[in-house]
Structure 1
Amino acid sequence: MKQDTLRLYDYHVWANKRVFNHLKELPSEVYQQEVKSVFSSLEQVVIHLFKTDVVWLCAMSDKNYEEIQQIIGKYSAEMENKTLEEMESKYLKFSEQYIDFLSSHEDLNANKTLKHPAFGQLETRISELAQHVVNHGTYHRGNITAMLRQLGYPGPSTDYIFYLYEKQGNQK
């Protein structure tokens, strides 16, 4: 089970790298170009993905709601006016913390209790929270693809099956 969770998170990082690489191939202004969509720009989706990954690693690490809000505030200030390349670097560095965290836990199915002021208490497991991070990323990578199409560009292929083929050595 631990290897399954680590593989899913590895897929998440792989898919996000594909998005970063794809966006870097486009004209630089596309990243911040305003779009009438779920987010106002591709930049805003990238920031949202990063901040959400931070939230859930903090939650898995037993930080309380107030601590998480402070950490997100710090990251929000750091992300202002960052280039795509700077966001990619920040994301890749942060993803190493996830891998270290997930790798260092013996039992990713151990019970975890989360408390949220609006949603209440949740009994879950780290493996389920990691699955949520991956699902959330997949959802918003879909937003990125839709937004790119609105702007006249194709989106990157980030389906899990392509990850599996690439890891097996059958696809670039």
Structure 2
Amino acid sequence: MKHEALRLYEYHVWANEKVFERLQEVPEEVSEQQVPSVFPTITQTLAHILKTDYVWLLAMKGESYEEVGPKVAVLLQELKGKNVHELRKLFAESAQQFRGFFGQISMEDTAPYRHPALGTVHARYADIVQHVANHGTYHRGNISAMLRQMGHAGASSDFIFYLFETSAVEQ
């Protein structure tokens, strides 16, 4: 049986894809329109989700806070100016990297995560995956709110929709 954290990660990937599908249905300039929100544009919000996923993948792979920082700086430079279509491809590549890593670990194993201001926490890989999914959910909600502010419907990416869609496939 698939570990619950793996299903949660697949939900995260599915929900991100629902956002990209929705963004294909609105005028392209909507993704770059400035809106008073957590991030100024939808593409900047997507870049933040991707960056945070990347940070946690590196951390789960055992890279230190000090090692992750310079790699994130490079990623942020690469993400500047990316449009929705380019970001969608990068999200797909990220998902493949996560899945490859998941094939090498047990979700129940723990690893230390050290932060200079917060200290060290020992967490299961499953806990970090839950954090990644929760973080993505929060910001997908920001994107839906931004779309609504601009007069467009948001993406239906709630977990229950994932369950309905994937259970229909499984039956």
Cα distance in structure 2, aligned partners of 1:133 and 1:146: 20
Tell me, in whole angstroms, the C-alpha distance in 1 between the residues paired with 2:153 and 2:27: 13
- The one-letter code matched in structure 2 to 1:108 is M
Letter in 2 for 1:151: M
What aligned pairs does 1:39-78 form with structure 2 within 5 A after superposition? 39-78=39-78
1:6–1:103 contact (8 Å) kept in structure 2 = no
| Structure 1: 4+ residue segments shifted above 2 A | none
Paired position in structure 2 for 1:23: 23
Alignment of 1:19-168 (within 5 A): 19-105=19-105, 107-168=106-167
Equivalent residue of 2:3, what SS?
helix
C-alpha distance in 1 between matches for 2:85 and 2:109:
37
Please, which moves more after superposition, 45-54 or 96-105? 96-105
**Residues 1:8 and 2:8 aligned together:** yes
Amino acid at match of 1:68: V
Offset of 1:103 from its aligned partner? 2.3
Report the aligned-residue RMSD: 1.2
Alpha-carbon shift at residue 5 of structure 1 (Å): 1.2
Instruction: Give distance in 1, aligned partners of 2:159 and 2:152.
Output: 22
Of stretches 95-104 and 27-36 in structure 1, the one that deviates more from structure 2 is 95-104
What TM-score results when the alignment is normalised by the length of structure 2? 0.95
> Cα offset for 1:2?
5.3
Q: Provide TM-score, normalisation by structure 1.
A: 0.94
Q: Alignment identity in percent?
A: 44
Distance 2:10 2:107 in 1: 15
Q: CA deviation at 1:99?
A: 1.0
**Per-residue deviation at 1:19?**
0.3
Structure 2 spans left out of the alignment, 5+ residues: none
Once residues 107 and 115 of structure 2 are traced to their aligned partners in structure 1, the CA distance between those partners, rounded to angstroms, is 21
Displacement of 1:3: 2.1
Deviations 1:26-64 (A, max 9, x none): 100000100011111111100100000000001100000
Maintained 8 Å contact 1:113/1:121: yes
